[in-house]
């Protein structure tokens, strides 16, 4: 998928996380966006997308496991190309994960990043669905 297809002519909340099936990502980050999807869309968000440096098969399986349905698009950045292009990659080698994405959320309106919320290492606050919802 090209970024113009994802972001063109729409308001999109894209949130990224270090990995599918990882503890905070599975227990808090993704479920928060699934449960708040209607609230976000009620504030003018056209699409919600979850991005991780995983392959498409893993992202699909994780989406099914988390029962995201049509609430959240599950996007794989298998080679970390998008993640590196936006400068939000991190080295997870110390955890056996290699190159991964930092935890963040962005609000994109017609292809322009309007807000970017990047977490400090080991934190989960500013990229949460509740935080982003409060800023819309």
Our answer to whether residue 25 is catalytic in this structure is yes
Strand 47-52 to 112-118 pairing: unpaired
Within 48-115, residue ranges assigned H as helices are: 56-65, 81-85
Choice among 25, 30, 37, 59 that is catalytic: 25
Phi, psi of 27 (to 5 degrees): -90, -30
Closest CA to 132 of 9, 1, 10, 37: 37
Closest CA to 13 of 85, 114, 99, 97: 114
Contact 75, 59 (CB under 8 A): yes
Phi, psi of 116 (to 5 degrees): -135, 125
Catalytic positions are: 25
């Amino acid at each position: 998928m090209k970024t113009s297809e994802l972001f063109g002519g729409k308001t999109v909340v894209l949130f990224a996380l270090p990995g599918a099936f990882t503890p905070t990502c599975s227990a808090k980050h993704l479920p928060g966006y699934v449960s708040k999807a209607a609230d976000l869309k009620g504030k003018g968000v056209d699409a919600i997308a979850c991005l991780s440096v995983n392959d498409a098969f893993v992202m699909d399986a994780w989406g099914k496991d988390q029962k995201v349905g049509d609430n959240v698009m599950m996007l794989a950045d298998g080679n970390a190309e998008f993640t590196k292009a936006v400068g939000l990659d991190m080295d997870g080698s110390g955890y056996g994960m290699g190159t991964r994405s930092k935890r963040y959320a962005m609000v994109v309106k017609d292809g322009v990043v309007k807000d970017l919320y990047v977490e400090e290492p080991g934190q989960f606050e500013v990229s949460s669905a509740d935080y982003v919802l409060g800023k819309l």
